[in-house]
Amino acid sequence: MKITDAKVIICSPGRNFVTLKIYTDQGIYGLGDATLNGMEKSVATYLTDYCIPALIGKDPRNIEDIWHYFYRGVYWRRGAVSMCAVSAIDMALWDIKAKTLNTPLYNLLGGRSRDKILVYAHSNGANIDETIENVGKKIDEGYKAVRVQCGIPGLSDAYGVAKEKKSYEPAHKGLPPEEKWDTSLYLNFIPGVFEKIREVYGSDVHLLHDVHHRCTPVEAARLAKELEPFHLFWIEDPVACELQESLRLIRQHSTTPIAIGEVFNTVYDYTLLFTEQLIDYIRMPLSHGGGITHLQKVAAFASFYHIATGFHGATDLSPITLAAALHFNTAINNFGIQEYMPHQKIVNEVFKINYKFENGFMYIDDSPGIGVDIDETAAARFPYVTARLPVNRKSDGTMFNW
Ligand code: GCO
Ligand code: MG
């Protein structure tokens, strides 16, 4: 079997997606998600100009070898752009292999370990009353787990809170908008939000919260400790995690579980966090963390430390990543939860999906491969639009983490 060609499809049905399509001499093709929010064209160029010419002629069945070819072989290893490209190649190759064997991807990853995939929804509100109401709506929709973000009194911007009643989308057309932030206002307010939510909805619903890299280590320790009575499923990215040792400080003070890694891209970002058991959930998604081949190793390594997966699943990852994640989550033993932020309906004009949400869980069907297809004619109707993530400054103007 040989790879005969490959191409990159960029489209923007409501938001940008980059898709790699690899063709073979057996008439079977594979799809991989190469979307890196706000940096889409960097990955597309890297794939088109550097990776695709080297892929042609290779045997697509040799996934492990091809993975190392694009990881070790390029010398400038790691980094978000190149790992996103490696991930897309890897996903497309697994798609080809499973289609060739006429079986759903999860069968090649160990088969079924569970019947359904627990997911968490996003919920937010401009103020506490709206937030409580919106959490209730998600519970009514059947969700068993809800991520809660809330506007902070005195702050014009809070991470994850939709503006003008639109649904929250992590990207904005044009140049990055600037947001303003004050951690002390946030820290004083947010534990009270969870206290109220527990009062209203009781203790059964799983609650999650994304700190989005905005606390110092000691601030994060305070937050984790103050949230402890409300038994969160996790807090995510409590600190910007370049200084991984800082997680020790949080652990010394709290048993609130911690999820980290949506901006990571290899197992080396996790070694200290696993071996010292400084986190509980892996956020690194298949499309940024080296694809299925690498995440299998990461998940296996994590399993020895009783750490589970909780993959990133925001709308800036395409339906291909979500479907691939559902296969992966079906197969591994140490699955924890999957983020599920449904794409806008218009996305389904381009991507034909094979999964559904029902009563708090997701299900993937048994079509061969990853099971998602792309309609290229429809994709061509939605040309690329420049869109960027916001940047964030402290209220005195100091540049900060978004
Ligand atoms: C999450 C995230 C996202 C990111 C986004 C950036 O936990 O879902 O933090 O919403 O901000 O994916 O592109
Ligand atoms: Mg996050």
210 CA distance to ligand 2 middle (Å): 6
- Atom 6 of ligand 1, nearest CA residue: 170
Q: How many domains does the chain have?
A: 2
153 and 279 assigned to the same domain: yes
- Reported as a single tens digit per residue, the pLDDT across 308-366 is 999 999 999 999 999 999 999 999 999 999 999 999 999 999 999 999 999 999 999 99
Q: What is the mean pLDDT of residues 156-162?
A: 91
Residue 81 pLDDT greater than 80, yes or no: yes
The dihedrals phi and psi of 133, each to the nearest 5 degrees, come to: -60, -45
Instruction: Give the three-state DSSP class for 147.
Output: strand
Average pLDDT over residues 193-209: 98
Q: Is 187:222 a contact under the CB 8 Å cutoff?
A: yes
Residue 162 is predicted with a pLDDT of 85
* CA gap 232, 259 in Å, rounded: 11
Distance CA 156, CA 179 (A): 8
Residue 210 CA, closest ligand 1 atom number? 7
Query: The domain spanning residue 207 has which CATH number?
Result: 3.20.20.120
Q: Give me the pLDDT at residue 163, please.
A: 81
Q: What spacing in Å lies between the alpha carbon of 331 and ligand 2's midpoint?
A: 24
User: Which residues have their alpha-adjacent CB atom under 5 A from ion ligand 2?
Assistant: 210, 262
CB distance 334 to 309 below 8 Å: yes
Ligand lying closest to the C-alpha of residue 261: 2
Could you tell me if residue 82 is inside a domain?
yes
Residue range 75-97: average pLDDT? Answer: 97
What's the average model confidence in pLDDT over 199-204? 98
pLDDT tens digits for range 258-272:
999 999 999 999 999
φ, ψ for residue 318 (rounded to 5)? -80, 170
Do residue 213 and residue 308 come from a single domain? yes
Q: Which residue has the tokens 């594979």?
A: 30
Q: Whose CA is nearest to atom 8 of ligand 1?
A: 314
Which residue has its alpha carbon closest to ligand 1 atom 5? Answer: 170
Does 66 score more than 90 pLDDT?
yes
Out of 71, 159, 270, 340, the active site residue is: 159
117-125 and 361-364 as β-strands: parallel, antiparallel, unpaired?
A: antiparallel
Band of residue 168 on the pLDDT scale cut at 50, 70, 90: confident
Q: Residue 374: what residue type?
A: I
Tell me the one-letter amino acid at 84: C
DSSP state letter for 188: H
**pLDDT tens sequence across 109-149:** 999 999 999 999 999 999 999 999 999 999 999 999 999 99
Question: Does the residue 352 lie in any domain?
Answer: yes
Residues 71 and 125 in one domain: no
Task: Report the pLDDT averaged over residues 237-243.
Answer: 94
Once rounded to an integer, what is the mean pLDDT over residues 293-300?
A: 98
Q: What percent of the chain has pLDDT over 70?
A: 100
| Domain assignment of residue 41, yes or no | yes
Same domain, 88 and 114: no
pLDDT digits (tens, 9 = 90+) for 11-62: 999 999 999 999 999 999 999 999 999 999 999 999 999 999 999 999 999 9
Q: Which among 49, 60, 66 is positioned nearest to 7, based on CA atoms?
A: 49
User: Are 8 and 100 part of one and the same domain?
Assistant: yes
Q: Is 70 helix (H, G, I), strand (E, B) or coil?
A: helix
Mean pLDDT within 247-268: 98
**Residue of 15, 316, 338 to test ligand 1 pocket, by largest number of atoms within 8 Å of CB:** 316
**Ligand 1 surroundings by CB, under 6 angstroms:** 37, 170, 210, 212, 236, 262, 312, 314, 316, 339, 389
Is the per-residue pLDDT at 170 higher than 80?
no
Q: How far is the CA of 330 from the centre of ligand 1 (A)?
A: 23
Residue 88 has pLDDT above 90, yes or no: yes
Please give the mean pLDDT across all residues of the chain: 97
Residues 251 and 173 in one domain: yes
Q: Which of 122, 212, 294, 312 is catalytic?
A: 212
To the query of whether residue 212 is one of the catalytic residues in this protein, the response is yes
Per-residue DSSP letters for 358-380? ETTEEEE---SBS--EE-HHHHH
Taking the CA of residue 168 as reference, the ligand 1 atom at the shortest distance is: 10
CATH number, residue 54: 3.30.390.10
Q: Specify the long-range contacts of residues 300-303, CB closer than 8 Å, at least 24 apart.
A: 301/267, 301/270, 301/274, 302/270, 302/274, 302/334, 303/332, 303/333, 303/334
Q: What is the CA radius of gyration of the chain?
A: 21
pLDDT in tens, 364-387: 999 999 999 999 999 999 999 999
Structural domain boundaries, residue 8: 3-104
Q: Can 29 be counted among the known catalytic residues? A: no
Maximum CA pair distance of the chain?
61
Kindly state whether residues 311 and 342 are assigned to the same domain.
yes
Ligand 2 centroid to residue 339 C-alpha, Å: 9
Residues 274-296 have a mean pLDDT of 98
Q: Which residues of 301-334 are buried (b: 16+ CB within 10 A; e: fewer)?
A: bbeebebbbbbbbbbbbbbbbbbbbbbbbbbbeb
What totals of helices (H) and strands (E) does the chain contain, helices first?
Answer: 14, 20
| Identity of the amino acid at 153 | P
* More confidently predicted of 374 and 165: 374
Q: What percent of the chain has pLDDT over 90?
A: 96
Q: Measured between alpha carbons, how far is 46 from 13 in angstroms, rounded to an integer?
A: 23
Render pLDDT for 351-360 as a digit per residue (tens, 0 to 9).
999 999 999 9
Closest residue by CA, ligand 1 atom 11: 170
Mutate to test the pocket of ligand 1, among 84, 262, 264, 389 (most ligand atoms within 8 A of CB): 262
As beta bridge partners, residue 387 has 173
Q: Which amino acid is at 278?
A: L
- Residue of the CA atom closest to atom 2 of ligand 1: 314
Q: What is the 61 CA–ligand 2 centroid distance (Å)?
A: 34
Same domain, yes or no: 247 and 261: yes
